Structure 1
Amino acid sequence: MPIDLTVIFLRWLQFASAVAALGLPLFRTYPSGTASLPSELRMAVLAGLLFSVGAAGGLVAQTAMMAGGWTAGLDPAALGYVIQSTGFGMAHVARAGLALFGVVILLIGRGRRSMTATAVVAFAGAVASFAWSGHGASSEGSAGAVHLVADIIHALAAAVWLGALAGFCLMLARPLKGEIEESARSLAGFATVGTATVAVLTVTGLVNSAFLVGLEGSGRLASSAWGLLLLAKLGLFAVMVWLAAHNRYVLTPELDRAIAQGSETGAPVKSLRISIGLELAAGVVLLGLVAAMGVQMPPASM
């Protein structure tokens, strides 16, 4: 596989695994949340391991891309230079270490809230480090600090939203009778968090776009690879927001009515399962677009 495609794939792997590693432990802390399911813990541990491996592999791949080949990229001296001399090198090392630490804490904690909270902090730190290995660290001065903070918040908010979708997919996969009511409570409890997350993503996305596109670059969006990827990302984001609104205002109330009336809940549960699955799938594709954007030059830098 070409080096640039390897870098994109490993960036996508890190984004996708970060979503599950951070989002699933957080999922049960939302209003109406309950104790974590074994399947959620296992998936969070696996995601954390992939997160750590992806960060280490990403460091090697990006070093190879900078050095002009895999042989040079695997040279310990080249890797040491990148780690010691570049922000993205140190970010990859910190990310791999924090993700692995989070996995160890999850395994030791076995679902205890204090240990889960510690793992969440570790994974959140790993997610925040994305800002130093992307365009968020490209701005300088006080404006650069604003850009960096917006990038960090954007990454954390995305993990919260997509991680919750993964949690709902696991919850609705094969729900027992008692778990259906629990699912309905969790869906209602996440409504406020989900709305706030979408608002944060929108605001921080606009801030990032102001730095990476700017007024002059807006006219070059359709003529650049980065711009086309951004437009596709915005389209998928709009689809996800529509699905989220449909879930909240149509499908979840249908499930609530079926539970209240004591009628069959199979159809509303199936509709929610399909809709949330589509929303999560769109999010996974969106992460792939973001991974590709990271190796393209934004309009403001042209």
Structure 2
Amino acid sequence: MDSPAWLVLRGLCRGLHLAGCFSVSGTMVLAATLLRGARVPGLKLLAWGGFALALGAGAGWFLLQTAYFAAAQGWADIITASPIVAQDTRFGALLLGRVAVLLLAMLLFQAGWTRPAALLGLGGVLAQAWLGHGGAMNGPEGNVLLASAVLHLAGAALWLGTLPALLLALRHLPGDEAARLARRFSPLGMACVAVLLSAAVVQFVLLIGGVGALFSSAYGALVSAKLLALAVLIGLAARNKFRLTPSLPGSRAALCRTVALEIGLGFAVLLAAGVLLQLEPPAMAGMAGM
């Protein structure tokens, strides 16, 4: 099960799993910080929906990755290899451990322990970094890449992961409260963009190596698509900050539409990221053995 189609399917499951984790973490973080105790109908249901997506897609990713590890020819091989992958590989231990952490965070969130839940949820997201290229490498370059992956995940989770909860709050809160929330969200969004761009520079240098690689490999082409989508996301965020947010509450409908568009683009970016992490970076061969 190592054809391009299976590789893409593994990547899509990985991206869907990450999207679910982001939604769980982002919902909790927004509830614990910027919402400041405001009651938003459906917030816990949104978090449970994200957890269901993370759990279902994570199960698919686990089974497909197990099939790849075991060179499985059928379900019998996958079932036989699953306990071994769960117990004896970093992939299995981290994936199952993260799901357990997210479940604990969900139970705390349901019980009203918002801040501990948010910390656990964010920790579960950041653990994803050890399943990427930096977690698989040794030496200084591997440490730098791992640190940049942690920052990249933090920035993405605190921005893209909070957008569904933000949209829900903007739609249900009274006009003045929605306006205050949008204004409080703007500095967080800008900080996250700065972190994402900084981490992207490090990853570009260590994984891509040069501009030419963006046009000479499948990895580079997918990175180019991600960068384009990120540029559009930043443009939409700038429109929100400088045009729509100052006009609230009158511009609430337009702001909600823009945030919904950001959610759709962010979802596509996470799917692309999932596939990207299944591919070998152009510069990886030069780092082998470091």
Task: Extract unaligned runs of 5+ from structure 1.
Answer: 260-264
| Residue 142 (structure 2) pairs with residue 138 (structure 1) | no
- Give the conservation status (yes or no) of the 8 Å contact 1:157–1:197: yes
Task: Extract unaligned runs of 5+ from structure 2.
Answer: 286-290
Cα distance in structure 2, aligned partners of 1:158 and 1:39 = 23
2:42 match: secondary structure? helix
Q: Which residue of 2 aligns with 1:254?
A: 247
- Give the conservation status (yes or no) of the 8 Å contact 2:222–2:276: yes
Q: Which residue of 1 aligns with 2:236?
A: 243
Q: Which residue of 2 aligns with 1:75?
A: 79
**Residues 175-209 of structure 1, C-alpha deviations (whole Å, 9 max, x = no match):** 46xx1111100011111111111101111111122
Displacement of 1:270: 1.6
Displacement of 1:85: 3.5
| Residue 185 (structure 2) pairs with residue 202 (structure 1) | no
Amino acid at match of 1:121: L
Q: Which residue of 2 aligns with 1:154?
A: 152
Aligned residues: 281
Cα distance in structure 2, aligned partners of 1:45 and 1:253 = 32
Change (3 A) 1:251 1:67: same
- RMSD, aligned CA: 2.1
Point out the more displaced range, 246-255 or 90-99: 90-99
Amino acid at match of 2:142: G
Q: For CA contacts below 8 A with separation 6 or more, give which structure has more relative contact order.
A: 2
Amino acid at match of 2:54: F
- TM-score normalised per structure 1: 0.86
Cα distance in structure 1, aligned partners of 2:35 and 2:83 = 47
Kindly, what percent of the aligned residue pairs are identical?
Answer: 31
Q: Which residue of 2 aligns with 1:12?
A: 15
Point out the more displaced range, 284-293 or 32-41: 32-41
Amino acid at match of 1:219: G
Q: Which residue of 1 aligns with 2:281?
A: 298
Cα distance in structure 2, aligned partners of 1:183 and 1:163 = 18
**Residues 207-261 of structure 1, C-alpha deviations (whole Å, 9 max, x = no match):** 122221124xx42221211100100000010101111011001111122xxx5xx
- 1:1-302 alignment runs, 5 A limit: 3-31=6-34, 33-69=36-72, 70-71=74-75, 74-76=78-80, 78-107=81-110, 109=111, 112=112, 115-173=113-171, 175=172, 179-215=174-210, 218-255=211-248, 265=250, 268-302=251-285
Cα distance in structure 2, aligned partners of 1:124 and 1:32 = 17
- Give the conservation status (yes or no) of the 8 Å contact 2:31–2:114: no
Amino acid at match of 2:238: A
Q: Which residue of 1 aligns with 2:288?
A: none
